[in-house]
Amino acid sequence: MDIREALMTLTNSYGVSGQEYNLHEMIINIFKDYVDSTEIDSLGNIIFFKKGTNDDGFKIMLAAHMDEIGLMVTKIEDNGFLRFAEVGGIDPRTVVGQEVLVHGSKVIPGVIGTKPPHMIEKEEQEKSLKLKDMIIDTGYSRENLIKYVHIGDFISIKRESMLLSNDRMAGKSMDDRVGVAVLYDLVKRLNSIKHYPDVYMVCTVQEEVTMSGARTSAYSINPDIGIAIDVGFGYTPELKKSETLILGKGPGITLGGNIDNTLRKQLIEVAKEYNIPYQHSIEPGPTGTDGSAIQITKEGIPTLVISVPLRYMHTSVELVDLKDIRFTSILLSNFIKNTKKINYSFVEENLCY
């Protein structure tokens, strides 16, 4: 299975934060021929393991979250319409008119509706849409709908990914099934090289709501190095180039207070040595990724964050360039191949007392 097919399979599957168990079998089947062992922990993280050549237990953990943003049933109206709330960061402007799947005791298709524009007062037209003003119409009466759907059931946006020109793909849940695709391409590369570290590749749960999957898996693994693989804001004309990443130009290597500067420099040295394109992603504060959770686990873990450029984040048409996935996995495989220890060097004048 190549990157294109893997990403298509990953993004056409459904797993809202808290519902990632739907993805377990599919993801394990994609990875199983390339790893030494597989574990699903108590929270639902999938932990793939590749043994290194070391005899001292030196470990690298790479995390990519498999959950996606979605919705949840909050009320079943007397007329059969569903009210709902967001799971993760949903932009209300993007969900009107969408097809959805309600994951009850059976999967129920529906559509998200709101008032026709002809019937909206002028002052109301100038206000932003709110989820509380929208409904899901399944066609069912309340009497029949409550046989299958209950408050708290998850709802996902129904969308199949599509291939575009220039090796690009658009669809839902690219954030962060793209990261899972990077891990898949990476593990295939690791099978053809010798690497010193033991490598733990974790498909984490609940990043979009709490980052708890990264926190618990990092606590269990306790790696020497942590790397979060996520997506970064892709450039479009209405955005500033200085705040975005260009599609097709390689991953963004994050700079910021949450990032281990020594590891970042080592990663850039690897990119330069092997002529792998990369970009800088500036995050002065928290990164909003699994990296923030990994970094503060136990006594603290030196952590990197790598971002695959992505347009239209948190919509159902997130768009990526497949070349960036390959560039990211090539960079990581060479970093792992060349990493035996963290090359920290402290000099007295740099220490604070």
Q: 143 a known binding residue?
A: no
CA distance 330 to 334: 6
Q: Which residues contact 92 (CB under 8 A, 6 or more apart)?
A: 128, 129, 130, 131, 134
Shortest CA distance to 137 belongs to which of 113, 160, 105? Answer: 113
CA distance 139 to 142: 10
CA distance 175 to 346: 38
CA distance 73 to 80: 12
Residue type, 131: L
| Residue 57: both structure tokens together | 């237990």
Q: Which residues contact 112 (CB under 8 A, 6 or more apart)?
A: 95, 96, 97, 98, 100, 134, 135, 136
Q: 230 a known binding residue?
A: yes
Q: 208 a known binding residue?
A: yes
CA distance 308 to 327: 9
- What positions carry a catalytic annotation? 207
CA distance 301 to 309: 25
8 neighbors 26 (Cβ within 8 angstroms): no
Known binding positions for Zn(2+)? 65, 175, 208, 230, 314
